[in-house]
Amino acid sequence: MNSCLPLLPVHVVDFVGASLMILFSLVAFYYAWKLTVLEPKSVLWSYLFWLCMAMVAFALSRGIGHVLKFVFIFMGFPHFWDFFAPYSGGLNTITFISITTLTFYFPAVRRVIGRVKDDAKRLKQTSYELAMANKALVELNQNLEQRVEERTRELQLSEQKFRRLFENSKDIIFFCDCNGKILDINDSGLELLGFSEKKGLAHQEIRGLFVNENDWQRFQGNLKEAGHVKDLEVEFKCQDGSHISMLITSDLIRDENGAVVGCEGIAKDLTRYKQVMANLVHSEKMASLGRMAADVAHEINTPLGIILGYTQLLKEDLSERKDLMESLELIEKQTKICKKIVADLLNFSRESLHKTKEPVNITQCLEEVMAIVEHSLKMDMIYVHKVYAPDLPPVLADKEKLRQVFVNIINNAHDAIHKEGLVGVWTRYNPATQMVEVIIGDTGPGIPPDILTKIFDPFFTTKEVGKGTGLGLSVSFGIVQECGGTISVESPPRDEALVEAGMETVFIIKLPSYTQKEE
């Protein structure tokens, strides 16, 4: 007993330490279990729980073994401890190996925890991005209806703008498919081409509008090669058979794959422009020739007057010489013809004295002209067909010059018919323009197109040498312009009524009525 007294403190410490080890391991196990209950999916808390469980097993195995050892010794049964000692040591070894094994798994658990943290971080970032995307979607959904309405209004305004441009343009705007068939055309195009509705042009080939095949080949070739046509001058055929000059610009239409699905184009009417340019050139030419004619007329008129005067004096002195009288009369006759040509030149140049203009009754003026020329017409079996409009307003003009215009045109009709034919004279009044119209036509052979644009040129004539000076229509043109009117020629005429009457060529004279002139 005395030998054991010095080891008592050691045994007490061993006993107390084993008891505390059991207590502390149970407390650690309790808190690990609580953490596991709070976060059952946590890998770290699960690892600590199993580690604490192993520590508890180790503490119980080691602590109970030490406690039983002292209990058996103090109770006087040391041989019992000898029996339990091997089992307690083996159990301690097993629990210690378990703790060691769990400790070796700590780096793997740490890596798992790191990955879980990374995944959690990425998940948090993804969650944030999803939240922002969801917020953006919510805002977009809230503003989508408003944006759709705004875009719809913009599209409607754009469509209305181009629709107004398409419908209100005075040029021809057309759309064709890849086969050249017209799909759509604006109202101005229908009006210029003489169609009353789109059905007349729908699904017709645009090729049919071209008068000249060469123009169509050029248009088609340029469109295929360059993909567009710019400012190509062509002639289009109207429904009534007339022709109009057009300046056409066109482009190919392609789909999203680049395949050609049709073409679109704009055609501008050049008819009026060409008429204005032709009138301008004609006016410049007439002015130049007028100045030249005036100079020539003044230079020739004086010697002609002297020749005529001396010829008449010689006729008085040599009245008994019949052989000389015939020569003198021939000289006098030819001199008077020359003076008439000079007078025409003066009229053409506007250098002659103008008589005072006065209101002229067109019907009465035409009847006076007919009284002069109708007899010669009947001699060649040419009859006059007269259709006078009642109650024509007067025109302000020089009556003698106006007679000269009508005589020139009727004489030209006589020369064109030669024998057996019809001369037609129509008068009418257009209230819209307040113009009095006089139409004089004939059943002659007509005027070729290449001559039609030249007949009002000075000194141009198709008559034989000695039968015409080429100044009649030029002088007439100047007289009508002096009255503020216009004169034009059609061969054949466009008016169906004139064609049915057998007219091949018609001259249309338009003069402003007296009331309009006064206003």
Q: Per-residue confidence at 508, pLDDT binned at 50, 70, 90? A: very high
For residue 64, how many C-alpha atoms fall within 13 Å in the half-sphere facing its CB?
Answer: 12
* Average of per-residue pLDDT values in the chain: 76
CA angle 472, 331, 295 (to 5 degrees): 45
Report phi then psi at 465, rounded to 5: -60, 130
Residue type, 478: G
pLDDT score at 352: 42
pLDDT score at 341: 67
Q: Beta-carbon neighbour count of residue 122 at 10 Å?
A: 10
Highest mean pLDDT among 31-35, 195-199, 293-297, 357-361: 357-361
Entry pTM: 0.41
Highest mean pLDDT among 46-55, 101-110, 490-499: 490-499
For residue range 452-507, what is the model confidence (pLDDT) as tens digits?
A: 777 776 655 655 544 445 556 777 887 888 888 888 888 888 888 888 888 999 99
pLDDT score at 440: 92
Instruction: Pull the structure tokens for residue 381.
Output: 């079996």
Asked whether the beta carbons of 265 and 174 are under 8 A apart, the reply is: yes
Give the range among 77-81, 393-397, 479-483 with minimum mean pLDDT. Answer: 77-81
106 vs 212, more confident = 212
For residue range 176-186, what is the model confidence (pLDDT) as tens digits?
A: 888 878 888 88
For residue 1, is pLDDT > 50? Answer: no
Asked whether the beta carbons of 344 and 470 are under 8 A apart, the reply is: no
* Cβ within 8 Å of residue 182, ≥6 positions away: 174, 175, 176, 201, 202, 203, 204, 205, 206
For residue 208, is pLDDT > 70? Answer: yes
Instruction: Pull the structure tokens for residue 4.
Output: 């054991």
pLDDT score at 441: 92
For residue 385, is pLDDT > 80? Answer: yes
Asked whether the beta carbons of 513 and 395 are under 8 A apart, the reply is: yes
* Cβ within 8 Å of residue 80, ≥6 positions away: 72
Residue 210 DSSP code: B
pLDDT score at 198: 72
pLDDT score at 506: 92
Q: Per-residue confidence at 305, pLDDT binned at 50, 70, 90? A: confident
239 vs 467, more confident = 239
pLDDT score at 356: 66
pLDDT score at 250: 86
Residue 184 DSSP code: E
- As to burial, measured by CB atoms within 10 angstroms (0-12 exposed, 13-18 middle, 19+ buried), residue 475 is buried
Give the range among 28-42, 123-137, 383-397 with minimum mean pLDDT. Answer: 28-42
33 vs 97, more confident = 33
What's the CA gap between 414 and 381, in Å, rounded?
A: 10
| Torsion sign across C-alpha atoms 101, 106, 111, 113 | positive
367 vs 332, more confident = 367
For residue 355, is pLDDT > 60? Answer: no
What's the CA gap between 412 and 410, in Å, rounded?
A: 5
Closest CA to 441 of 461, 421, 455, 457: 421
pLDDT score at 255: 82
pLDDT score at 439: 93
- Percent of the chain surpassing pLDDT 70: 69
pLDDT score at 437: 92
**Cα dist from 233 to 7, 190, 245, 253, 517, whole Å:** 132, 19, 7, 22, 39
- Percent of the chain surpassing pLDDT 90: 4
Question: What DSSP line would sit under 380-413, residue for residue?
Answer: TTEEEEEEPPTTPPPEEE-HHHHHHHHHHHHHHH
Q: Beta-carbon neighbour count of residue 188 at 10 Å?
A: 18
For residue 300, is pLDDT > 80? Answer: no
What's the CA gap between 462 and 459, in Å, rounded?
A: 10
The mean per-residue pLDDT over the stretch 218-241 comes to 84
What's the CA gap between 69 and 79, in Å, rounded?
A: 10
Report phi then psi at 218, rounded to 5: -65, -45
**Cα dist from 176 to 164, 214, 260, whole Å:** 20, 20, 11
For residue 129, is pLDDT > 70? Answer: yes
